[in-house]
Amino acid sequence: MFDYLIVGSGLFGAVVAHEMKKAGKSVLVLERRSHQGGNVYCEERDGIRIHQYGAHIFHTSDKKVWDYVNRFVEFNHYINSPVANYKGELYNLPFNMNTFTKMWGVVTPAEAAAKIAQQRKEAGITKPKNLEEQAISLIGTDIYTKLIKGYTEKQWGRRCTELPAFIIQRLPVRYTFDNNYFNDRYQGIPMGGYNKLIDGLLEGIEVRTGVDYLQHREEYHGMAKTIVYTGPIDEYFGYCLGTLEYRGLRFETERLEEENHQGVAVMNYTDRETPWTRIIEHKHFEFGTQPVTYVTKEYPADWKPGEEAYYPVNNERNQALYAKYAELAAKEENVVFGGRLAEYKYYDMDDVVGSALEKTALLKRIHVV
């Protein structure tokens, strides 16, 4: 019998598995997919590491988390500086002086601030009733129309006038010429790819891929004293209370016989008519100089149970349903739920690592081993 059975080999499961093994516990990891690593898994082709499940840029202001992941792999100096493509017009993101200069021809921060203030005033929105009104009240009509509206409607599969205002609490606006998307102190891509990070975390631990724990629950349930479950919480309980909603994604990757296709790792397509939300050119994450390149078109998709879940639909109905599932989870003996799917939460990668470290520290303290 193992001390721990970890269901899922993504970042959360891998960190918990590593920490438990380091504490002297026996650990078995089950992974439903044919590979370990969850959504950070990369596939290498022609010396280029392809982010199979969308762009992943590690960023954090938590030095403890940064130092932790750097124990397993060194990170490069990549800075996320995406570009927005609106019908062939290119704008820097996040919204900054480069964006405002291109859009309005303004030169100074004062001119940019005045332009935004003017558009907000002209809109006359005092109590936003939906996402569209909320965005316009924050940033004005031009930026909303060109850089927010179409992208958001594609991502959520609904019109902005049908989405709740609380989805956008604030919009980052910088009155400096700074294209760094994140404000965090630390940022980069693992040198050698995310597989190297996962491999380091799971070194010396048995991982069984291609195993769906929920379909073989009776076989595996008695194999460990404690189970750490990182899959969808509603699926664990057989959807007995209803189905939590997600947005899905679909990826199309192609090899191009050119050295440099778009000059940036991530380009967002913000008009409504272009069916994909962004194109990722993977080699730029690691400053590749290969004679060929790989690009991935990322399409938003409606989601059905059994498909890969990406973004939780954060509305009142789903949050209330998750709370009921969380109550059921709290009653499960010797089962710990953690990670983005088990907690129905959008996590950045540093949040996943931090949460996993907190969970393992708690397990060690209460001796649930």
Distance CA(231)–CA(211), nearest Å, equals 13
Check 170, 257, 316, 365 and give the catalytic one.
Answer: 170
| Lookup: tokens for 77 | 């100096």
Instruction: Assess whether 49 carries a catalytic annotation.
Output: no
Q: Which of 193, 204, 208, 201 is nearest to 34 (CA)?
A: 208
Instruction: Assess whether 170 carries a catalytic annotation.
Output: yes
- Would you tell me how many other CB atoms lie within 10 Å of the CB of residue 174? 18
Strands (E), the chain: 2-7, 27-31, 42-45, 48-51, 58-60, 83-86, 89-92, 186-188, 206-209, 224-229, 246-256, 266-269, 278-281, 293-302, 311-312, 335-337
| Lookup: tokens for 175 | 């009155």
Helices (H), 71-216: 97-104, 109-123, 131-139, 141-143, 150-156, 194-201
Instruction: Assess whether 278 carries a catalytic annotation.
Output: yes
**Length, in residues, of the chain:** 369
Check 111, 184, 348, 351 and give the catalytic one.
Answer: 348
Check 174, 245, 281, 344 and give the catalytic one.
Answer: 174
- In degrees, to the nearest 5, what angle opens at C-alpha 187 toward C-alphas 38 and 289? 80
Given a contact cutoff of 8 angstroms between Cβ atoms, the answer to whether 37 and 198 are in contact is: yes
Q: Which of 155, 198, 225 is nearest to 39 (CA)?
A: 198
Check 186, 278, 322, 343 and give the catalytic one.
Answer: 278
Check 46, 122, 272, 346 and give the catalytic one.
Answer: 346
Instruction: Assess whether 71 carries a catalytic annotation.
Output: no
- CA-CA-CA-CA torsion for 89, 94, 100, 103, nearest 10 degrees? 20
Q: Are β-strands 42-45 and 83-86 bridged in parallel, bridged antiparallel, or unpaired?
A: unpaired
**Kind plus residue range of the DSSP H or E element containing 14:** helix 11-22
Check 247, 299, 347, 351 and give the catalytic one.
Answer: 247
Instruction: Assess whether 32 carries a catalytic annotation.
Output: no
**Which amino acid appears at position 99 of this protein?**
T
Check 286, 298, 343, 350 and give the catalytic one.
Answer: 298
Q: How many CA atoms lie within 13 A of 192 on its CB side?
A: 10
Given a contact cutoff of 8 angstroms between Cβ atoms, the answer to whether 48 and 294 are in contact is: yes
**Residues assigned a catalytic role:** 170, 174, 247, 278, 298, 346, 348
